[in-house]
Amino acid sequence: MGAFLKMTSSPVMYVALIQDLPPANGEEKTVAIVAAAHDVSSLSLVTRGSAKEIMRFSARSVALALQPGNMIKASANNDFAYCVYGLKNSSGTTAILVANTSYAIRFANHYLKEILSLAMNLPPNKLNVSKDAVGPKEDGGLVDLVPLLKRAQRPEENDQLSKLAKDIDEVRDMAYANLEKIVERGRSLDEVMKKSDDLSAASKMFLKEAKKTNCRLCAVL
């Protein structure tokens, strides 16, 4: 299986806004993707569709694991090496940013906060959703995240990042744990992926053939 990444012109591949949904009829908590934007131009053509589904699955898993006020960095090292950053507010709204493994955490922290600020500008009832507002391979939703995604590709050129020195202090203390144990609460990550509606048969086959994923999770209070 060839490597996913073919260039580094687009270090950020996915941003999303995800809302917690209350459990219904005794079922487990779930989430809805209410806005999303992709840039998979740095990936090979044959793997872009599967990459979108895998990033969507990872984003939902991170959103489910996060507690309000926490930030997560989850990284996976296989043929598709990436990091998933997540930040959840007190209203159960999670900002997600998926980037390559060299993307600076201080940049991710800045853009996660900006995504959440966009959600705060929505009318209160807008986030009262019952299902995803965007599909697994679509851009759109309740807010337009495409302009933010474009800015995130070259964060060092963005004047709004002048306060990043302060952001560094907020993410310097990291506690490492196993992503599979925390996100899936002891269940096999492979087994959960097999049952996920977010992943097509092609994506599940890719994951099966890829190298064994080595995940780690960093939680920042």
> Strand order in 93-99's β-sheet?
140-141, 30-38, 12-21, 93-99, 82-88, 71-77, 214-220, 175-177
Express each pLDDT in 105-139 by its tens digit: 888 988 999 999 999 988 878 888 888 888 877 89
Domain total in the chain: 1
DSSP annotation of 16: E
Contact 105, 74 (CB under 8 A): no
Rounded CA separation 149/106 (Å): 16
Is residue 118 situated within a structural domain?
yes
The pLDDT of residue 8 is 46
Is 18 within a domain? yes
Domain span at residue 144 reads 12-130+138-161+168-213
DSSP label at residue 5: B
Q: How far apart are alpha carbons 36 and 143 in whole angstroms?
A: 8
> The CATH number of the domain where 57 resides is what?
3.30.450.50
Q: pLDDT category, 75, cuts 50, 70, 90?
A: confident
pLDDT in tens, 7-63: 346 899 999 999 998 887 777 889 999 999 999 888 888 888 888 888 898 899 889
* pTM for the model: 0.73
Is residue 152 scored above 90 in pLDDT? yes
Asked if the structure places residue 20 within a domain, the reply is: yes
Let me know if residue 180 belongs to a domain.
Answer: yes
Q: Which residues pair with 95 in a beta bridge?
A: 17, 87
Q: Which of 162, 194, 185, 196 is nearest to 57 (CA)?
A: 196
